[in-house]
Amino acid sequence: QVQPVESGGGLVQAGGSLRLSCAASGSISSINAVGWHRQVLGKFREMVATITSDGITNYADSVKGRFSISRDDAKNTVYLQMNSLKPEDTSVYYCNILSGQLVYWGQGTQVTVSS
């Protein structure tokens, strides 16, 4: 019943910034948490950042101090602000929503950081 849709990816130089958006479509009865994950070819999916319904955030060590997750409930959107981007941040970024003990995944948005 919930379909996250990611946007905001693109090509950026190292040191630059991007803001990813995750908009939820469909009916949402309850949301426990929203997260951003990333996955590159040949690698396991990595948790990047999460935010719970009560506003608690968590970040992967590799992005702490550079990325921040936030939400705009009025727009049904969660954001991932990415600053000081590095080439190793290059990946497909996926939004996921935890609702009623079910996890819904978006299709992803490509982020490419050039050196």
pLDDT tens, per residue, the chain with 115 residues:
688 999 999 999 999 999 999 998 766 668 889 999 999 989 999 999 999 989 999 999 999 999 999 998 888 899 999 999 999 999 999 999 998 889 999 999 999 999 9
Q: What is the pLDDT of residue 26?
A: 66
C-alpha triplet 77, 78, 84: angle, nearest 5°: 135
Q: What is the pLDDT of residue 82?
A: 98
C-alpha triplet 58, 62, 64: angle, nearest 5°: 45
Q: What is the pLDDT of residue 87?
A: 98
